[in-house]
Structure 1
Amino acid sequence: MSTEESAEVSLLTPRILIPFLLVSLIWGSTWLVIKDQISEVPPSWSVSYRFIVAAAAMFMLAAFKRLPFRLDRTGYLLALILGFFQFTFNFNFVYNAELFITSGLVAVLFALLMVPNAILGRIFLGHKLTAPFLGGSAIAAVGIAMLFWHEYRASPASLEQVLLGAALTFGGIMSASVANVMQAGERLKSYPIITVLAWAMLFGALINVAVSWVTVGPPVYETRAAYWGGIVYLGVIGSVVTFPLYFAMIREIGPGKAAYSSVLVPVVAMILSTIFEGYVWTGLSAGGAVLAMIGLLVALRARKPKLPRIPA
């Protein structure tokens, strides 16, 4: 009986790279849409509407792909926990952070998601931290710091508002990281990802509705077509298209490397802001973006060898 070494998997593998770029491009665009959602509608109600739409669309996707709707008791519990951290805590933290700081600052700070993902992946999943990954992360961190400083200097927010917004963003980062590491766990990986996400989004939407009703009162909504168009875009394109791809990447390459999409996202957001909002680049922001991309390219070379497979 011989041992066959499976092919190594990295972010440069086409089946990983294509979803990685697609997720980064879409999530880079969502910051502009979220910015428009921050109005007279309380953030928790906007999050509720988003995931009511997303849950309905995800169940429709499951039906189209002829996937089972039912989970066992453990599956429902895991979906509930996932919905709590990913689709309740995470997004409420992010939307509320944008009440105090700009979407650019939130997007840049969220690029640090790779750090807790890598650390929690090491603690709970035993994933190794390779030299290219650590080196790339260090380079990207310098670029992120430069982007953050540029955004901070351009922001009209006071220091107290920036600190509060940063604290809320950090809460969102940690909530998302817990959900990310859960997806890489063997128990959750045994369930169909779309079915789990459908239930997680439904549970998240129900929790959001309950929390919203208790904390800010009955539903509040806008009549603007742009507001509801944004809800549909965030629910379908920004959630149903992206989360199955992103969580599939986590299952394949681990939460640390998958979170490198968060490094690309603010750069995409800044490019789109340049096109649609007249964003003006400076030497500091351009240098930070270049360093972030260099760090990303270095980390792209880090590979995660698959375990040896012994054929029968």
Structure 2
Amino acid sequence: MKTNRLAGRTGVLTVLVLAAVYSLLPVWWLVVSSTKDSGSLFSSNGFWFAGRVEIVRNIRDLLDVQQGIFGRWLLNSLLYAVGGALVATLLSSMAGYVLAKYRFRGREAVFNTVLGAILIPAPLFALPLYLMFSATHVVNTFWAVFIPSVVSPFGVYLSRIYAAAAVPDELLESGRIDGAGEFRIFRSISLRVMQPSLVTIFLFQFVTIWTNYLLPSLMLANDRLQPVTVGLVAWKEQRGQTVPYNLIITGSLLSVVPIVVMFLILQRYWQAGLTSGSIK
């Protein structure tokens, strides 16, 4: 019996270690390659450092390429991702709260439509969105990327599920008895209870917008409006003729940093929400 348990634990541990190595190895290669110059990038061991660390120089050279276009791409990505995630979180929380706490004709039909939107792959919406925005002359503008980013069917679904389970009807009734309006109850009471779900929606939407390539590449022709994902792929397709590969790799590393920082900032809200839920 003990032998079987030991074998089972060893197998699980082996699988976890392999999964960790599989996930972290590309990140390690990215970090190591960002410290090399163009000469030692392919001539040395790809998974270990090669002499002098050049990451500071690479970052400085990267920010000077094409009059600082990479910095503009980063700002564009931050604007699309942060702004779109904030608006999407607000709209999703309002829609999910209404679907969870108010009874009206067609409520289940609306929710089923949201579920259907979750099941449809996002790339399938790209061409219809392009045709619609082209007809309304929105293509190649900021709004062509921002407007689709504020729609999150998964956020609506998660908000409804969480609001139905975590926001008691008695709490809402007590607010109405005290004379609070429906919007004030939602703003002052429900949003506080729904905080862990809001953080989850924001982070999921932030990552989705930040890593999105198809929609901005289809909508935007002006390189001053493009996010960092589209810009880096455009540099890569030039095969190092305009921008050296070591600078492209350094840009890829910098493009990951905001996602890591956002996760580290928001994880304490998850922990606080889980702790308060266990106490309740």
Task: Give the alignment's TM-score, normalised by structure 1.
Answer: 0.28
Using CA pairs below 8 Å that are at least 6 residues apart, which structure has the higher relative contact order?
1
Task: Give the alignment's TM-score, normalised by structure 2.
Answer: 0.30
Select the structure of larger CA radius of gyration.
Answer: 2
